[in-house]
Homo-oligomer: A and B are copies of this chain.
Amino acid sequence: MATPSQFLKFVDDNADRFIKRLGEAVAIPSVSGDGKYRPEVFRMSAWLDGQLQSLGVTTKLVDLGKHVMDDQELPLPPAILGRIGDDPKKKTVLIYGHYDVQPAQKSDGWDTEPFTLVVDEKTGKLIGRGSTDDKGPILGWLNVLEAHKTLGLELPVNLRFCFEGMEENGSEGLDDLIKTEVTKGKESWFDGVDCVCISDNYWLNSRTPCLTYGLRGLVYFKLTISGPARDLHSGVFGRMVHEPMTDLITIMGKLVTPDGTILVPGVEDMVPSAQDDEIAIYEKLDYSVKDVEDAVGAPITLSQDKVSVIMGRMRLPSLSLHGIEGAFYGPGAKTVIPASVSGKFSIRIVPPQTPEAIEPLVKKYVEQEFAKLNSKNKLKIENLHDGRPWLADHRHWNYEAAIRATEAVYKRSPDLTREGGSIPVTLTFAESLGVNVLLLPMGRGDDGAHSTNEKIDRSNFIEGSKLLGTYLYEVGAIKA
C-alpha cells in the first residue's frame, strides 16, 4: 500500500497551521515535576483529549490516583487511552507519547520565553519547552489523523493511543495501568495490538534519521557512611575521629577507573564481546568522535576510536559518580566534618545484566572494601531504583516498515542505534504485550530536550509527520 500523495501534500500545505497548533500545546506549561504546575498538566490532558476526539478518536481518561511530592498530596494527571479503527484485517499499532514537560524558566538561561513557541525563520528552529520532548511527536500523530479525516482517507492500520502526563517525573502509575489493562482480554484497550511505536527519543546527530532498538538499564545506589551524631568542626575534631567523608571517598574511589572500567568484580565479565555483525552496525553509524566532542563541548572522549566510543554508550555498562548528599556543597570554604554522607552512583547495565544480578555484586564489594578500612563508622548501601535493559529484534517487520518509511521520506537509510539511557515504558510494553516495540525518533540529537532553548527543527516536525504516516502505510502493507 503506497503512501497516498494527497497525505504528503496535505502535510506540506498545512505546515504553518500545524506549527500554530504546536504553539498552542507549548503554551500550556504542563510541568509534571513542580506541584504548582499540576493544574496545567490537567489542562494539557483536556486539550489533548479534545484534539483526539475532534479527529475521530474514542478516548478514555484514566484516573491514576494521587501521589505525594514535596510533602504535598497531588492528583496524578490522567493517562489518555484512545482507539480509532477496528478492522480485523488491519494491523493494530499502539502509539505512546507524553504530554508533560520538563521545568523551564527564562532565568535558567533561555533566550526566549520557554512557554511561547518561537519560530526562527532563518534557522528553521521551533523553539519552546516541549517542542521536541514530547509535544512535537504527539502533534505529529494529530497531523496524520487530521490529514486523513479532512481528506476522507481510510487509515491503513487500526490505531491505539496511550499518552501519559508524568513521564518527566517517573511515569508514576503508568506501569500498573498497562499491566492491569492487558489482563482485561477483549475489554482491554490494548487488545489485538500487533506492535508498538514510541516517538520519544532523538537522532544520534543532526543529520541522519535513526531507529533505536536497545536501551541500557540502570541500578542507582546510595552509599551512606555515618559516624558522629552531628556535624563536627574540623579544627576541634580533625584527627581525633573516623571521618565519614574519608571513608566514603576512599570507597567511591574504588568503583570505577578514570578510563571507565568498572572495578566491582564480576560486572564487566557478564557482558559478551561484540560479534562482527554487531560491530559492523557501529562502524556504519553516522556518528564520529567529533560528534561526541561537539555534543559535550570538549575533547574528552575516552578513546579516539569511533567504534570504542560508540560501544561505551550502546553496549557496555557504565558507572557514574553523581555526587554526595550531606557534605558541604556550597561555594566558599566551610571547615565541617559532615556527620553522615551519602554517595550517589549508578551503573547503566546491558543485556544479559539485570538489577537482580548486579545489586548483590555491588553490595558485597562495597562491604568488603569498607571492612578493609577498619573504620568505626557505619555503612549502609541501598538500591534507590533500577530498571532492566531492553533490546529488540531490529530484523522484525515493525523495524522493516520504519526503515522503508524513513527511506521514502528522507531518501536515506536510518541508522540503527542503541541508546545509553532508559525509557522504562518501552520494557513494560514489550513484556506486558509481548510484541515488538520500535523507537522512532522525530527530533535531532541537538534538540536539547531537557535543556534550555529546547527546539525541534521545522523540517523534523513536518517531514517527521510524513514519516509517522508513511510508517503506518508500511505497516499496513506487511503481509499477515
| Residues of A near any B CB (own CB < 8 A) | 216, 218, 220, 222, 227-230, 232-243, 245-247, 249-250, 252-254, 256-260, 292, 295-302, 309, 312-313, 316-325, 327-338, 344, 346, 348, 373-377, 384-385, 419-422, 450-451
Contact = CB atoms under 8 A, between A and B. Distances in A.
A242 B234 CA distance: 32
B233 A450 contact: yes
A447 B204 CA distance: 60
Contacts of A228: 296-298, 300
Given A235-B420, A241-B300, A241-B302, 5 more contacts: A235-B348, A236-B421, A246-B256, A246-B320, A301-B376
Contacts of A330: 325
A336 to B, nearest CB: 6
A337 B312 CA distance: 15
Nearest to A230: B297
A239 B312 CA distance: 5
A398 to B, nearest CB: 23
A368 to B, nearest CB: 14
A230 B325 contact: no
A260 B235 contact: no
Contacts of A348: 234-235, 238-239
A238 B318 contact: yes
Contact of A239 (B240, B318, B336): B318
Nearest to A294: B229
Contacts of A247: 258
Contact of A321 (B243, B300, B333): B243
Contact of A327 (B234, B238, B322, B422): B322
A171 to B, nearest CB: 14
Nearest to A332: B384
Nearest to A220: B333
Given A252-B249, A258-B375, A237 B324 contact: no
Nearest to A260: B239
Contact of A292 (B216, B241, B317): B241
Top 8 A-B residue pairs of the complex, sorted by shortest distance between their CB atoms: A235-B421, A229-B297, A253-B253, A323-B328, A238-B318, A323-B327, A239-B318, A239-B312
B344 A313 contact: no
Nearest to A335: B346
A259 B292 CA distance: 42
A311 to B, nearest CB: 8
Given A252-B253, A313-B240, A420-B238, A246 B297 contact: no
Given A249-B253, A302-B239, A420-B236, A335 B313 contact: no
A319 B319 CA distance: 28
